[in-house]
């Protein structure tokens, strides 16, 4: 097991090349079995969730080649419609395999997906959408057994604009017979990128990014060589780090409109932000004022995946901030660890009241999920003195070369084996 040793208080300056978006690459990997021609995805980050997804593809019979930051998937030999429990338990994205497995084999069997412990994370919207497309589903002994004679297009209205459910239905519908319309669909940039990927394979998908997506089923899809969008959550994490510690950063590879809600709040906090094409330049004196309230919302609202990192910034901003987490039930586990560093945070259900303190002090803290772990690193970079962060496996799920990129910005961080 490893831990980070961090000496806080340094200003951070430099530029960061942003990886392809984890939450785009994962559904694209699932989509790669929709064709038996080779699929190449470029800029694929070296993170554990991607490795887990590649293991799942290997289990169903795909041949995988992993060059530095490319993944080549040849699913001509894919034979199995089942995913072993040990793999579905590893990550939430295993559920995205239902759509492609049904499209390819007309059958699918998975156990309930795992993933970060940030809430109940039901999959009822996934399953009800698949049923609308003609799938019979039996949930027995902890497994989800799916079967269909033929996938047939349908009108689907999502009770909530679920990212995963939208993606799963898109993946099941691209080769279904007829037209599928998804209403109240998620609008995240990752959904737009999935549409771009599927259409590059020869699918007929339109409307992603708006609330309604229309899909005309096609017979075949072809292989593709694809460069996904940059990871807006990774970019947001580094921007928040520099905003909090003070300094200057340039991120490249993420269009500012993909994290406009965050940039708006950081400007209110007193940061100077300049944007051009997919370049974002932020400067901060590290002495920020608080904003009254931040509510997480589906896109284009404030991203839930930046809630923890932003709360770490609020811990030393001047004044109080009310954080409301509207998407997940228990996404404040990291708050207790921030309090060990001297943060003044009161959590009640989905709401956290953060009263800014003059300084945080170093402490030994434990990551409990991916984004909460990143928040602890950001707080340690700001804190006075030395901190250690353990349970890095969570951070390794979503941040490639995390300590290297932070070191390049001037952070005093090192990874040690314990």
Active-site amino acid positions? 116
List 17, 46, 122, 289, residue binding ligand EPZ (CB under 6 A): 122
Helix axes 307-314, 232-245, angle to 10 degrees: 0
Nearest approach, Cβ of residue 103 and ligand EPZ (Å): 19
Contacts (Cβ under 8 Å, ≥6 apart) of 292 = 320, 321, 322
Q: Can you read off the two tokens belonging to residue 208?
A: 């992603």
Residue 308 interacting with ligand EPZ (CB under 6 A): no
- Asked whether position 223 contacts ligand EPZ by CB under 6 A, the answer is no
Q: Measured from the CB atom, is 83 or 327 closer to ligand EPZ? A: 327
Among 123, 144, 191, 205, binds ligand EPZ (CB under 6 A): 123
Q: Which of 163, 171, 182, 367 binds ligand EPZ (CB under 6 A)?
A: 163
Binding mask 73-112 for ligand EPZ (x = CB under 6 A): -------------------xx-------------------
Instruction: Round to whole Å and give the CA distance between 280 and 278.
Output: 7
Q: Does 304 bind ligand EPZ (CB under 6 A)?
A: yes
In the sheet with 70-74, reading across from the earlier edge strand, the strands are 63-67, 70-74, 39-42, 224-226
With b for 16 or more beta-carbon neighbours within 10 A and e for fewer, the 225-256 pattern comes to ebebbbbbbbbbbbbbbbbbbbbbbbbebbbb
CB of 358 to ligand EPZ, least distance (A): 31
* Residue 162 binds to ligand EPZ (criterion: CB under 6 A): yes
- Binding flag, residue 125, ligand EPZ (CB under 6 A): yes
Which stretch, 8-16, 136-144, 157-165, 313-321, contacts ligand EPZ (CB under 6 A)? Answer: 157-165
Residue 328 as a binder of ligand EPZ (CB under 6 A): the answer is yes
As measured in angstroms, the least distance from the Cβ of 15 to ligand EPZ is 23
Cα–Cα distance measured from residue 308 to residue 224, given in angstroms and rounded to the nearest whole number: 36
Q: Minimum distance between the CB of residue 318 and ligand EPZ, rounded to whole angstroms? A: 29
Using the contact rule CB under 6 A, the part of the chain among 62-70, 159-167, 244-252, 270-278 near ligand EPZ is 159-167
Give the Cα separation of 169 and 155 in Å (integer).
11
Q: Which of 46, 67, 86, 160 forms a contact with ligand EPZ (CB under 6 A)?
A: 160
C-alpha of 316 from chain center = 26
> Exposure string (b/e) for 76-106, b if CB count within 10 Å is 16 or more?
eebeebbbeeebbebbbbbbbbbbbbbbbbb
Q: Give the SS3 label for residue 104.
A: helix
User: Does residue 394 bind ligand EPZ (CB under 6 A)?
Assistant: no
**Which residue, 408, 287, 414, 296, is CA-closest to 358?**
287
CB of 231 to ligand EPZ, least distance (A): 9
Q: Nearest-CB residue to ligand EPZ?
A: 164
105/8 Cα distance (integer angstroms) = 53
HSE toward the beta carbon, residue 175, CA cutoff 13 A: 21
Asked if 327 interacts with ligand EPZ (CB under 6 A), we say yes
Q: Which of 45, 134, 164, 217 binds ligand EPZ (CB under 6 A)?
A: 164
Q: What is the Cα–Cα distance from 134 to 142, expressed in whole angstroms?
A: 22
Among 18, 165, 259, 409, binds ligand EPZ (CB under 6 A): 165
d(CA 224, CA 222): 7
| Interface with ligand EPZ: number of residues (CB under 6 A) | 27
Site string for ligand EPZ, 13-52 (x = CB under 6 A): ---------xx--x--------------------------
Applying CB under 6 A, among 14, 61, 119, 301 the residue interacting with ligand EPZ is: 119
Residue 228 is classified by DSSP as P
Taking the least distance from each CB to ligand EPZ, the nearer of 108 and 288 is 108
Binding of residue 237 to ligand EPZ (CB under 6 A): no
How many alpha carbons fall within 13 Å on the CB side of residue 47? 27
Task: Give min distance, CB of 319 to ligand EPZ, in A.
Answer: 27
CA–CA separation, 93 vs 30, rounded Å?
9
User: Running DSSP on this structure, what letter comes out for residue 396?
Assistant: G
- Residue 302 sits in the site that holds ligand EPZ (CB under 6 A): no
Q: Which stretch binds ligand EPZ (CB under 6 A): 120-128, 262-270, 309-317, 353-361?
A: 120-128
User: How far is C-alpha 386 from the geometric centre of its chain's CA atoms?
Assistant: 29
Q: Which residues of the shown chain bind ligand EPZ in the complex (CB under 6 A)?
A: 22-23, 26, 92-93, 116, 119-126, 160, 162-165, 186, 304-305, 327-328, 370-371, 398
């Amino acid at each position: 097991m490893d831990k980070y040793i961090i000496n806080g208080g340094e200003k951070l300056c430099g530029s960061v090349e942003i990886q392809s978006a984890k939450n785009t690459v994962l559904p694209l990997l699932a989509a790669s079995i929709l064709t038996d021609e080779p699929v190449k995805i470029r800029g694929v980050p070296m993170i554990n969730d991607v490795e887990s997804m590649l293991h799942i593809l290997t289990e169903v019979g795909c041949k995988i080649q992993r060059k530095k930051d490319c993944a080549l998937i040849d699913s001509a030999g894919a034979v199995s419609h089942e995913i072993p429990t040990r793999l579905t338990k590893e990550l939430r994205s295993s559920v995205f395999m239902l759509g492609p497995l049904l499209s390819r084999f007309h059958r699918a069997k998975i156990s309930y997906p795992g993933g970060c412990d940030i809430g109940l994370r039901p999959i009822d919207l996934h399953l009800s959408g698949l049923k609308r497309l003609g799938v019979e589903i039996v949930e027995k002994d902890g497994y989800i057994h799916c079967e269909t004679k033929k996938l047939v297009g349908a009108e689907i209205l999502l009770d909530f604009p679920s990212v995963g459910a939208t993606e799963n239905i898109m993946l099941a519908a691209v080769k279904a017979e007829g037209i599928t319309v998804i209403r109240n669909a998620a609008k995240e940039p990752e959904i737009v990128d999935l549409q771009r990927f599927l259409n590059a394979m020869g699918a007929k998908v339109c409307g992603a990014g708006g609330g309604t997506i229309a899909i005309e089923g096609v017979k075949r899809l072809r292989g593709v060589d694809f460069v996904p969008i940059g990871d807006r959550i990774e970019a947001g994490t580094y921007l928040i780090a520099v905003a909090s510690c003070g300094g200057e950063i340039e991120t490249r590879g993420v269009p500012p409109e993909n994290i406009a809600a965050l940039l708006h709040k950081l400007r209110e906090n007193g940061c100077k932000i300049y944007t051009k094409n997919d370049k974002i330049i932020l400067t901060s004196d590290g002495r920020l004022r608080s904003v009254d309230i931040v509510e997480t919302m589906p896109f284009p609202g404030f991203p839930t995946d930046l809630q923890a990192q932003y709360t770490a910034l609020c811990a030393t901003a001047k004044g109080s901030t009310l954080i409301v987490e509207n998407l997940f039930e228990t996404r404040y586990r990291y708050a207790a660890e921030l309090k060990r560093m001297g943060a003044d945070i009161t959590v009640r259900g989905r709401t956290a009241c953060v009263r800014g303190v003059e300084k945080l002090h170093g402490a030994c803290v434990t990551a409990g999920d991916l984004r909460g772990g990143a928040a602890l690193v950001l707080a340690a970079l700001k804190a006075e003195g030395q901190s250690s962060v353990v349970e890095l496996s969570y951070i390794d799920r979503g941040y490639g070369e995390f300590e290297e990129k932070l070191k390049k910005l001037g952070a005093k961080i090192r990874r040690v084996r314990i």
